[in-house]
Structure 1
Amino acid sequence: MSRVFISEATGAVVYVFTDDHCPPHVHARHRGNDWIARIGFSYLGDAITLLSIAPLKNIPQQRVLNHLLGEIEARLTDCRKAWWEIRQTTCLTNQWVRVLNGGIVELLPGREVGARQIAKTDYDPGNEVVRLILRDGTTREVRLRS
C-alpha cells in the first residue's frame, strides 16, 4: 500500500493498494467515520469517478464527498504517479480509441469503424505524458494537465 496524501477537508487517507486491479483508482479511507471510497481516474483525461463507498450505513454526506473528490482532482498527478509506480500500467492495453484531429485520443467502449486498438502504453509521471503504441504500429503521445 502506498499513501498518496491525507485529505485536508475530510481527514481521509488516500492510497493505492499494491495488489490493486484495473481500472486505475485510489482508495480514500476515513477511520474515524469508518468508510472507504474508491475513486477511478484515467490516463487519457482528467475526469474522476466515484466507483464505490462502503459500508453503506456509514456513507459520508454529499458535501464531504464533494470536498474529497475536489482534492483528488487537484492531486490527480500524484494519484497517477502512485498508481504507475506500484502497478506499472495505465490499464489501457487492448482498449479501443479513436484519434481525432489535433491528435486528441478518445477512449471508446468497444471496437468501432475507424477505431484503433492500443497494444502497449508507457507513462512519464514527471512530464504527465502517456505514450500509446497502437496495434497498427503508430504511436501517439497524450499530454495531461498541459
Structure 2
Amino acid sequence: MKVGAYKGYVISVFIRGEHCPPHVHVRGKGWDARFRFSFLDGDVELWDVEPERRRPPTAVLKEIREVIMQRHYLARARRIWWEKLQTVCLENHSWNWDTSELVPGLVIRRGVYVIASAWHDALAQRTILNLVRAPDCVGINL
C-alpha cells in the first residue's frame, strides 16, 4: 500500500508475506530499497538495497530517508503496517522499566519486563506495551 512518493519514487508497505522488522519499500529504476522504522521512536534507517550493483547514490537514499522520517509519512507507514499486519514487532523482547528502553530478546532481571503484547493506536500516535508482571503497561507517544 502506498505511503507516499518523492521525486517519482513510490514509498510503500507491502502487505503480503511481510515480516518484522517494520519497513517500507522504495522502488527505483532497477532497484528496491528497504527502510526500517519503529513503533517506539522516529528513527528510520536504510536496511538494504537489491540488487546491490544497482544501488542509487548515497545522497538519493539519504533524501528518501529524510522524507520517510517526516511525521505524516511515518504515521501513515505505521498505520498501514499495524492495520494490515497486526504487529508492531516488539513481542518477545523486553522493556527496561527504569530507563524506558527496549532490551532485545527475552531478558529477565530486576527492572526488566518481557513484552507480552503490543499495539499501535494510529489515531493517538501511541504505542502501548503490555508487560509480564510489570506494575503497569507502557504508553509511548510518537
Q: State whether TM-score is above 0.5.
A: yes
Tell me whether 1:109 sits opposite 2:108 in the alignment.
Answer: no
Distance in 1 between the 2:61 and 2:93 partners? 30
Runs of 4+, deviation exceeding 2 Å? none
The corresponding residue for 1:45 is 41
The corresponding residue for 2:96 is 98
Tell me whether 1:4 sits opposite 2:3 in the alignment.
Answer: yes
**SS of equivalent to 2:69:** helix
**Equivalent residues, number:** 136
**SS of equivalent to 2:66:** helix
Distance in 1 between the 2:54 and 2:9 partners? 14
The C-alpha deviation readout for 1:18-76, integer Å capped at 9, x for no partner, is 1200111111111xx21100111111111112111011111000110111000011121
Match of 1:76 among 74, 77, 84: 74
Q: TM-score, normalised to structure 2's length?
A: 0.89
Tell me whether 1:121 sits opposite 2:118 in the alignment.
Answer: yes
Q: Which amino acid aligns with 2:79?
A: K
Q: Which amino acid aligns with 2:102?
A: L
Distance in 2 between the 1:72 and 1:100 partners? 31
Distance in 2 between the 1:99 and 1:72 partners? 29
**SS of equivalent to 1:68:** helix
Identity of aligned residues (%): 34
The corresponding residue for 2:86 is 88
Distance in 2 between the 1:118 and 1:53 partners? 31
Distance in 1 between the 2:94 and 2:121 partners? 21
C-alpha displacement of 1:139: 0.7
Distance in 1 between the 2:11 and 2:97 partners? 33
Q: TM-score, normalised to structure 1's length?
A: 0.87
Distance in 2 between the 1:100 and 1:62 partners? 38
Moved more, 77-86 or 105-114: 105-114
**SS of equivalent to 1:17:** coil
Match of 1:13 among 10, 27, 40: 10
